[in-house]
Amino acid sequence: MEAYLDNSATTRCSGRAVELMVRILSEDYGNPSSLHSMGARAEAYIKEAKKKIARTLKASEKEIVFTSGGTESNNLAIFGSAEAKKRAGNHIVTTAVEHASVAQPMQRLEELGYRVTYLPVDASGTVLRDALEDALDEETILVSMMHVNNEIGTIEPVEAAAELIHKKAPHALFHVDAIQSYGKLPVYPKKAGIDLLSVSGHKIHGPKGVGFLYIRDKAGIKPVLYGGGQQKGMRSGTENVPAIAALGEAAAECFEGLFANAEAMYGLREYFIREALKIPGVTVNGKMGREAAPHIVSVSAEGVRSEVLLHSLEEEGIYVSAGSACSSNKPSVSRTLAAIGLKKELLDATVRFSFCRDTTKEEIEYALARLAEIIPFRRKFTRK
Amino acid sequence: MYKSFLIKYGEIAIKGKNRYLFEEALVRQIRYALAGADGTFEVRRLQGRIYVDAKDYDYDEVLEALSHVFGIVGICPVVLTEDAGFDALVRDVTAYVDQAYPDKNRTFKVHARRARKNYPMDSMELNAALGEKLLEAFPKLRVDVHHPDILLCVEIREKINIYSVEIPGPGGMPVGTNGRAMLLLSGGIDSPVAGYMIAKRGVAIDAVYFHAPPYTSERAKQKVVDLARIVSRYAGPIRLHIVNFTEIQLQIYEKCPHAELTIIMRRYMMKIAEHFAKEDHCLGLVTGESIGQVASQTMQSLAATNAVCTLPVYRPLIGFDKKEIIDISEKIDAYETSILPFEDCCTIFVAKHPVTKPNLRVIERSEQRLGEAIDALVKTAVETAETVCVEAGEG
């Protein structure tokens, strides 16, 4: 049996998205900027994708800008805001648990002279309201906070944060990295007071190499890429039409079953956690119930190195991540796990299981059964 | 301007009656090295010389490829012309100098050799006559017989060879002329260098790699395949045996004193490597060990691991410092791959305080605790080993 439980790393592309993509690649391959009918047909696909996505966010079509994926969306949001707002102040607020595609741009902005405050989190990974309140001031031009933590699944209180930000820092734009939440949980940026929102295609059963940034009308950020002036100058470069169309389709498909899928995944998550905790020496990080995303479970197994656990599961056809998949090539300590104050022995003994709408109870039961065998066995063999 | 390369080889020219074997091996290795380069190449032996005739090729790429062939001492891009009398020769030599040296403000010396003794002028006469004609053609040129910028070689053979550049080759002996050896290849820095060194002396290589899933990953294995491919640029095709060592390692872990784990593990690796060595008709084992580098490489530890082998164990890096090994690793382009951070199976259970002066009798006594079970595990490891043939061209 196989169980792909690494859906927060990437998901399988949906059949509807693939079909659309192939058709555009082989038949409607025009350049959307071309004046002839081939171009017009290509442009229509982009419009259609925008319409589908705008509907999922209760936003306007003109507020969607397509990018090459989550990393570019985050970079555009951060550098684009910093540049646009540089006269209003030079203070930026973010959190200690952001993904590298937020944390690294922040580090770059510090090198460029911006003052960046990193908000601490509690043991569940939740940003503290008081810390945010204290950090905000008249100089603050940007706050960047993730919606769902990619490593432990904790949902950050973005709506409460938005209220506070707009009250205390009138010049600040509020950016939310929704890469792990979009398509799993409802998020309506306008209602929530979010100015910028990043999404990646391949986390929601779309293709890799595409994503979008929601930019609230009149938010006024600056582009990062300059060139042919596509997408109203916000993101130059010929649009990746097949991927954009497929992303639109994948997004629509996700939202068709949003609440039912979330319910089903919450059921699996609760079952998984309950059973996993029965294995001696196992703990689960982050939050339980509805304060966490439905699809991410972070499991620590004392005395079993995460890489060994990962490869042991792999031998059984179960695919998971050690810490965060994006940083799995570097044996570095996860910032999130360090920030929640995880015991030192557990930092390198933690794996992430992540589900999707296609994950079945059988797969979860299979993974749990193997986990219950592997953990006590591997624990016997440790470096002395 | 060059359609041919003259390959110079040193050491192998003195091997008496075996000479043709060495030349054949060198020709074979040159063909292997050029297989991945753009262009069409003909490698031929003629009167005790090797020529590479090249068409539609990239000069730098060919030199790079040839620089990997052991046995080559020098590579001379050469112009070959028919003998059509002295006036024609003057024309060819003048044209050569004109094209090869756009800036004529240099010193030169003509070095003529008459391999074909029926040529009407002898080499002294040729030197003088060609020198004079060149001075006439290019007034900026000056003669310097002691330290010329350009040493213009003109050899009268079946065809006339004109060349003035010699790019040094890697030296050594052509792979395949000195038997075959089994390399214990890990993902580290040392063992690929050891393979390179032994291949330099003309030894063909097979290799064995021990992996320990789930403690080591698929990527660690891929890294070793990549390293074998790097070594095969010099050593020719390598048969790589990939042995699953996990069960043996766990058995040793459970039964033997922890401080002796690495030594006992290495002894089993040697045993298994020797098994494959004999199967592949290898004449010895090769390791990347150097005295004192780690606990398992002290004189006592080397003696303890050596004791299980009946074949000779060659350790070409035995007297090298780490820095010297790294220099060679960088030279052969293996370093970047070697330092990729994937765990290899020698380090996963390594003790904090391993024995550094193992006593062979003590080690052998510890091994008795492994009982007969270990023989079955070794048998399984050998039988389930995966063998891949790695060549420079692929991947």
Reported as a single tens digit per residue, the pLDDT across A273-294 is: 999 999 999 999 999 999 999 9
Amino acid letter at B245? Answer: F
Query: Is B140 exposed, middle or buried, given 0-12, 13-18 or 19+ CB atoms closer than 10 A?
Result: exposed
Cβ of B215 within 8 Å of Cβ of A311? The answer is yes
| B349 interaction partners in chain A (CB closer than 8 Å) | 381, 383
Band (pLDDT 50/70/90 cuts) for residue A325 is very low
Indicate if A217 and A342 belong to the same structural domain: no
Indicate if B70 and B136 belong to the same structural domain: yes
Indicate if A361 and A226 belong to the same structural domain: no
Look at residue B274 and tell me if it is in a domain. yes
pLDDT score for A327: 40
Cα–Cα distance for residue pair A53/A211, rounded to 1 Å: 11
- In chain A, DSSP finds a helix count (H) and a strand count (E) of 13, 13
Closest CA to B51 of B20, B70, B79, B32: B79
Read off the tokens for B89: 């020769």
Indicate if A202 and A311 belong to the same structural domain: no
Indicate if B294 and B257 belong to the same structural domain: yes
pLDDT score for B49: 86
Look at residue A59 and tell me if it is in a domain. yes
Q: Does B351 touch chain A (CB under 8 A)?
A: yes
| B244 interaction partners in chain A (CB closer than 8 Å) | none
Cβ under 8 Å to B: A residues 63-92? none
Read off the tokens for B91: 């024309």
Mean pLDDT in runs of 10 for chain B (395 residues)?
Answer: 90 68 92 93 90 95 94 95 93 95 95 90 94 95 95 94 95 93 95 97 96 91 96 95 96 93 95 97 96 89 95 97 96 92 72 89 95 95 96 65
Indicate if A23 and A56 belong to the same structural domain: yes
Nearest C-alpha of chain B: how many angstroms from A384?
6
The helix/strand/coil state of A183 is: coil
Nearest C-alpha of chain A: how many angstroms from B215?
5
The count of C-alpha atoms lying within 13 angstroms of the C-alpha of A377, restricted to the half-sphere facing its C-beta, is 14
pLDDT score for A332: 65
Indicate if A145 and A278 belong to the same structural domain: no
Indicate if A179 and A318 belong to the same structural domain: no
Query: Is A227 exposed, middle or buried, given 0-12, 13-18 or 19+ CB atoms closer than 10 A?
Result: exposed
Q: Does A308 touch chain B (CB under 8 A)?
A: yes
Q: Does B343 touch chain A (CB under 8 A)?
A: yes
Cβ(B177)–Cβ(B235) below 8 Å: no
CB burial string B230-253: b at 16+ within 10 A, e below: bbbbbbbbbbbbbbbbbbbbbbbb
Read off the tokens for A44: 């229509």
Band (pLDDT 50/70/90 cuts) for residue A326 is very low
- Residue at which a domain ends, from A256, A276, A309: A256
Indicate if B188 and B157 belong to the same structural domain: no
- Residue at which a domain ends, from B135, B168, B201: B168
Cβ of B349 within 8 Å of Cβ of A307? The answer is no
- Residue at which a domain ends, from B134, B168, B202: B168
Q: Does A111 touch chain B (CB under 8 A)?
A: no
Catalytic residue flag (residue A356):
no
Which chain B residue is nearest to residue A316, measuring alpha carbons? B214
Which CATH number belongs to the domain containing residue A349 in this structure?
3.90.1150.10
Indicate if A62 and A194 belong to the same structural domain: yes
pLDDT score for B347: 67
Look at residue B173 and tell me if it is in a domain. no
Cβ of A310 within 8 Å of Cβ of B348? The answer is no
Q: Does A384 touch chain B (CB under 8 A)?
A: yes
Look at residue A110 and tell me if it is in a domain. yes
Reported as a single tens digit per residue, the pLDDT across A160-182 is: 999 999 999 999 999 999 999 99
Indicate if B268 and B122 belong to the same structural domain: no
Indicate if B8 and B148 belong to the same structural domain: yes
Which chain A residue is nearest to residue B342, measuring alpha carbons? A329
Look at residue A384 and tell me if it is in a domain. no
Peptide bond into B214 cis (omega under 30): yes
- Residue at which a domain ends, from A256, A276, A300: A256
Cα–Cα distance for residue pair A45/A34, rounded to 1 Å: 14
Q: pTM for this structure?
A: 0.88
pLDDT score for B46: 86
Indicate if B110 and B199 belong to the same structural domain: no
Report the residue from B214, B254, B348 with minimal CB separation from A312.
B214
Band (pLDDT 50/70/90 cuts) for residue A7 is very high
Look at residue A356 and tell me if it is in a domain. yes
Which chain A residue is nearest to residue B348, measuring alpha carbons? A383
Q: Does A314 touch chain B (CB under 8 A)?
A: yes
| A315 interaction partners in chain B (CB closer than 8 Å) | 213-214
Indicate if B15 and B139 belong to the same structural domain: yes
* CA A296 to mean position of chain CA atoms: 11
Q: State the Cα torsion B120-B123-B125-B126 to the nearest 10°.
A: 80
Indicate if A267 and A290 belong to the same structural domain: yes
ipTM for the assembly:
0.83
**Average pLDDT over chain A, rounded to an integer:** 95
Number of domains in chain B: 2
Indicate if A169 and A151 belong to the same structural domain: yes
pLDDT score for B345: 65
Indicate if A91 and A67 belong to the same structural domain: yes
Cβ(A307)–Cβ(A347) below 8 Å: no
Look at residue B395 and tell me if it is in a domain. no
Which chain B residue is nearest to residue A309, measuring alpha carbons? B214
Cβ of A307 within 8 Å of Cβ of B351? The answer is no
What's the domain range around A30? Answer: 15-256
pLDDT score for A319: 98
Which chain B residue is nearest to residue A304, measuring alpha carbons? B215
Band (pLDDT 50/70/90 cuts) for residue A375 is very high
Closest CA to A234 of A212, A201, A249: A212
Look at residue A94 and tell me if it is in a domain. yes
Query: What are the phi and psi torsion angles at B218 (to 5°)?
Result: -55, -35
Indicate if B24 and B121 belong to the same structural domain: yes
Query: Is A84 exposed, middle or buried, given 0-12, 13-18 or 19+ CB atoms closer than 10 A?
Result: middle
Which CATH number belongs to the domain containing residue A238 in this structure?
3.40.640.10
Give residue for tokens 């050593």: B235
Cα–Cα distance for residue pair B294/B89, rounded to 1 Å: 63
Report the residue from A308, A315, A384 with minimal CB separation from B351.
A384
Indicate if B158 and B197 belong to the same structural domain: no
Query: What are the phi and psi torsion angles at A46 (to 5°)?
Result: -65, -45
Number of domains in chain A: 2
Cβ of B217 within 8 Å of Cβ of A381? The answer is no
Indicate if A296 and A224 belong to the same structural domain: no
Q: E strands of chain A, at which residues?
A: 3-4, 64-67, 91-95, 115-119, 140-146, 173-177, 196-200, 211-215, 282-285, 296-301, 318-319, 321-322, 350-354
The helix/strand/coil state of A49 is: helix
**What spatial distance separates the first Cα and last Cα of chain B, rounded to whole Å?**
32
Which CATH number belongs to the domain containing residue B326 in this structure?
3.40.50.620
Report the residue from A311, A331, A378 with minimal CB separation from B341.
A331
Look at residue A161 and tell me if it is in a domain. yes
- Residue at which a domain ends, from A256, A272, A306: A256
Cα–Cα distance for residue pair B259/B251, rounded to 1 Å: 15
* CA A192 to mean position of chain CA atoms: 18
Which CATH number belongs to the domain containing residue B76 in this structure?
3.30.2130.30
Cβ(A198)–Cβ(A179) below 8 Å: yes
Tell me the C-alpha to C-alpha distance, in Å, between residue A151 and each of A123, A127, A129, B281, B365: 13, 15, 21, 52, 48
pLDDT score for A329: 46
Question: How big is the A-B interface in CB pairs under 8 Å?
Answer: 31
Indicate if B193 and B320 belong to the same structural domain: yes
Give residue for tokens 């045996």: B241
Tell me the C-alpha to C-alpha distance, in Å, between residue B218 and each of A79, A86, B80, B342: 38, 47, 52, 10
pLDDT score for A201: 98
Cβ of A311 within 8 Å of Cβ of B351? The answer is no
What's the domain range around B252? Answer: 180-390
Indicate if B201 and B133 belong to the same structural domain: no
- Residue at which a domain ends, from B111, B133, B168: B168
Cα–Cα distance for residue pair B232/B239, rounded to 1 Å: 10
Indicate if B39 and B61 belong to the same structural domain: yes
Closest CA to B35 of B62, B75, B17: B62
Indicate if A281 and A140 belong to the same structural domain: no
Look at residue A357 and tell me if it is in a domain. yes
